[in-house]
Structure 1
Amino acid sequence: MSVVRDHDFLEDFDGWMFCVVGDIHPPEGFFAYPKYTPGPGPWRRGAQSFRRTIEKYSMSELKKLLDNLKTSRPEYVRLDYVLGAEMFFLPSMKVLKHYSCIEGLKNIVRKDNRDVLEQFLVDFIYEVSDSSGVGLEYLGVTGSILLGIHHEKSDIDLVVYGRENYWKIIDILEGMTSPRYDHSLRRFSTIYPISWSDAEKLAGRVKHKRTYHGIDFSVYGVRKIDELSEMYGDYVYRRVGLAKAELEVVDSSSSCFTPSIYLVEGYAEISEERYPVEKLTCYDLTYTALFHEGDRLQVYGKLEEVIDARSKDRFYSILTGSFEAAEKEYIKLLV
């Protein structure tokens, strides 16, 4: 099996399709959640149909899925010491097939008989590559089209490798495609406990979900190999509690990856005790590339103490996208 990267898919021996989350994994398997399983649904490969495991991507829906797996397939849930939390997990010994985003796109480009959506994808990536100057070798595709189970109404999930490449492509897409503002507004206003006006502020910032010639698509960033600087176990995370924080963004350059990371300054508070926060970590990719340097944010999420296992230095990070803060967590843009 080739190197497994963020947003790749892994298939188990029962035909379950797992989406890989991030690039940092334990040696014996992968943090990945089952997105498609055999069953009645519009996704098909030959005679086999597939269903999505969750109707709407939210932490509360993912928590329900995790709780179900704990009883039905406990081998797919891991209480991880390093992260200090329960996680979806696929052991290496359960992997039947690896679907690489890069290789998947190459295979579609090479195909002689492409369907309508595949042809749109090929035309689209050539136009994006030409306009941005980002080579095709830094592009991939994920989701149902990578797995070959897509249908005519499927959207496209484009993957861009490299921080600089991602921002180049986001810049050119703003000029050649349309934002999915209504989609983003519905999501912010229904999934998070924030006001309509707060949701409007956030929805107007969304850059990675767009529409082109009637086809919806998303753009996700993945680090190039030479941008990977952290290994599993380098940092250990310990829960402090659920906290409210007021933060200012000082560096958003890694907000395009999974998780989205913002370096921040500010304080979180729990029971009148204040904690200096240096990092905002968003596993909920709704917040991908959303905030900029100088933005002031109000955040409610899981406060963690982060321990550098090499230097023993410690700092505090606040996390959105945790199971325990589901339906409570939010980010508001103050300025």
Structure 2
Amino acid sequence: MKLLNPFLTKSGWVYGLSSTYSRDTYLAYPMYYPNLEGEKDVGGRKYSKFSRIAQLNFEIKQPYNLFTLLDPWTVVIPKSEIIHFFDTQKTLLNILNNINLVDPRKVLISTIIEKCKINKIDLGIGGSYAVGCPTKESDIDLVIYGTKYVYPVITCIEDFIQNKKITMMTDNIVMQYAKRYKELYKTTPMDDLKRTFSFDVSKIYIEGRKLSLIFAYNPDEYSKINPVENMLYDKNLCKSGEGVVISSTSSWMYPRRYIIKSNNKLFSIWSYHWLHKNLCNAGDKVFFKTQQPTKNGKTLFLSMLTDRISKK
């Protein structure tokens, strides 16, 4: 079973798969919980979206044991507690093939798939679409499995941004994200959070509709990643340096994104290290290798300088 895949448990809660913990258990993160007054309908039952802030404020308690070594929200779930997994690949393909659904994100997703030569078995969808309770305003979370796709997909997205076919988050939305994460990670400076989201090309808009790109490991890939390395790099990574981590995404189930300061320049870097075994925190000194710019001089996402790409 693939990372991030949502599943329904006997408790009624819907979780997303983080990893295998033991032969009989999974690590998982909460997505939705049963609530008679909930605004979501999953399989004829009312649900509410899980709030990390609500758990921190003791307003809600999960039905399974927490695994706080990973983060404050992850739980250990016995495989025997799982009723069924949601088929996110089938859901995504149904959306793309639905001729009656008018949504500019469909065309954008299809273009990304074609340009980046993504195998459809390496795709999925997250969020409310994954469990069958989207609204007209729901974001689409496109899940792409396999780190080999990170480079071509982000390169494609940068082309679209520079050609003004799509846009990044507005300053107002950036501030909303920064405030939300400031509540969760109180020690992270607000300016660093704003900077992180300002240059986040994994959250994009087309005709006002949001598409989020989520890169996840393939099952055969994350089992082989060496936990000793800070940054796992391949033959295409050819630029190196030393720097200090300014901030990073809170993602631990898929390639983690860092903002690194080196020689008074900011680099945005995806790191392919495995889960929670060797995460870098703000202030850590790191050695990194990144992609070189393309022949036409554009800097790419894996070595993106803040003075080379910005919101218009």
Q: TM-score, normalised by structure 2?
A: 0.65
Letter in 2 for 1:141: I
Amino acid at match of 2:143: V
2:24 to 19, 25, 28: 28
2:88 to 88, 91, 101: 101
The alpha carbon displacement at 1:10 in A equals 0.8
- Which of residues 118, 128, 140 in structure 1 aligns to 2:124? 140
Equivalent residue for 1:291? Answer: 259
Higher mean Cα deviation, 10-19 or 154-163?
10-19
Unaligned segments of structure 1, at least 5 residues: 237-248, 255-262, 269-279, 298-315, 321-329
Q: Distance in 2 between matches of 1:252 and 1:179?
A: 28
Aligned position for 2:61: 68
Q: Deviations over 1:204-231 (max 9, x none)?
A: 3312111122111211111234423349
Shift of 1:47: 4.3
Counterpart code for 2:168: P
Q: Is the 8 A contact 2:169 2:204 kept in 1?
A: yes
| 8 Å CA contact retained: 1:162, 1:227 | yes
Partner of 1:251: 231
Q: Secondary structure at the match of 1:97?
A: strand
CA distance in 1: counterparts of 2:131 and 2:243, whole angstroms:
43
Q: Secondary structure at the match of 1:89?
A: strand
Is residue 31–residue 89 contact of structure 1 (8 Å, CA) maintained in 2? yes
In 2: Cα distance, 1:28 partner to 1:295 partner: 48
Alignment correspondent of 2:297? none
Q: How far apart are the structure 2 equivalents of 1:19 and 1:90?
A: 11
Displacement after TM superposition at 1:8 (Å): 0.4
- Quick one: distance in 2 between partners of 1:171 and 1:121? 18
- Name which of 153, 171, 182 aligns with 1:169: 153
Contact 1:134 1:169 in 2 (8 A): no
Cα distance per residue 1:114-149 (max 9 Å; x no partner): 555xx5554332122123333333222111101111
Counterpart of 1:180 in structure 2 is 169
Q: d(CA) in 1 for partners of 2:7 and 2:124?
A: 16
CA RMSD of aligned residues (A): 4.4
Correspondence 1:224 to 2:221: no
Task: Answer yes or no: is the 8 Å Cα contact 1:33–1:89 preserved in 2.
Answer: no
- The verdict on how the C-alpha distance between 1:63 and 1:252 changes in structure 2, with shifts beyond 3 A counting, is farther
Letter in 1 for 2:145: Y
Q: CA separation in 1, counterparts of 2:3 and 2:122?
A: 14
1:150 aligns to what SS in structure 2?
Answer: coil
How far the C-alpha of 1:31 sits from its partner, in A, is 0.9
- For 1:240, the equivalent position in structure 2 comes to none
Alignment of structure 1 residues 187-226 onto 2, 5 Å: 187-189=177-179, 190-191=182-183, 192-226=186-220
**C-alpha displacement at 1:68, in angstroms?**
2.2
Alpha-carbon contact 1:156-1:218 (below 8 Å) kept: yes
Residue of structure 1 aligned with 2:65, choices 77, 82, 87: 77
| Deviation (angstroms), 1:12 | 1.3
Contact 2:244/2:283 (8 A) holds in 1: no
Contact 1:208/1:218 (<8 A) preserved? yes
Matches within 5 A, 1:313-332: 317=278
Identity of aligned residues (%): 17
Q: Which moved more, 1:99-108 or 1:86-95?
A: 99-108
Whether the 8 Å CA contact 2:116–2:152 is kept in 1: the answer is yes
Question: Contact 1:44 / 1:50 at 8 angstroms: preserved in 2?
Answer: yes
What one-letter code is carried by the residue in structure 2 that aligns with 1:168?
A: P
| Higher percent of residues as strand | 1
- Aligned to 1:211, the other structure's residue is in SS state strand
Contact 1:33 1:88 in 2 (8 A): yes
Q: Distance in 1 between matches of 2:27 and 2:263?
A: 31
Cα deviation 1:250-301 (Å, max 9, x = unaligned) = 73759xxxxxxxx997899xxxxxxxxxxx995468994343695889xxxx
Q: Letter of the 2:175 partner, please give it.
A: L
- Counterpart of 1:16 (choices 13, 16, 27) is 13
- Matched to 2:88, the amino acid is C
| Pairing partner for 2:134 from 137, 150, 174 | 150
What is the deviation of 1:13? Answer: 2.8
